[in-house]
Structure 1
């Protein structure tokens, strides 16, 4: 029964949509990877998406729960965010979502 209950637990996703100053996406990518490396308990994965040919992107960070995400807010993370802030062309739009459906490909 515990496996079934684990199956019913949903992940949560922190999503940030951002546009960086011209030519700054690569630097932002390095800082994103550095920030993600600070995450520990409750972290379930991360994606950084870039709109081809632009400095626009979307970051998706998956968490076990909102509480686990909050618990990972560290001084090291805040320092990285301070380094990233001047790279933005404008403030990013952020939201927090519950992952209600996750479909994995069939393995053959």
Structure 2
């Protein structure tokens, strides 16, 4: 539909706003190789299945694996990280539906005083 304000001077000659949000595209291979910390330190995520601290940094609050856009890993490392996270969840090391860093800690048993 054509609206009347489309013909106003302000609307016709206003500058286009630039997008300030992050791109929804994963980094290129060169950039990913430079920014991939796991690759830089020679860490293979598949062998770090029991390392919950490492894996938890690549999991969202809901327990889903973060995308390459967020992690900035290479394609190979991202695949192997996903495999490690799935294995850890199946072994019961990581919770299925939450991030272990955010999950509430289990409270200690309440000890009642003995009746006298």
**Alignment TM-score, normalising by the size of structure 1:** 0.27
Between Structure 1 and Structure 2, the one with more helix by share is 2
Higher relative contact order (CA 8 A, sep 6+): 1
**Alignment TM-score, normalising by the size of structure 2:** 0.26
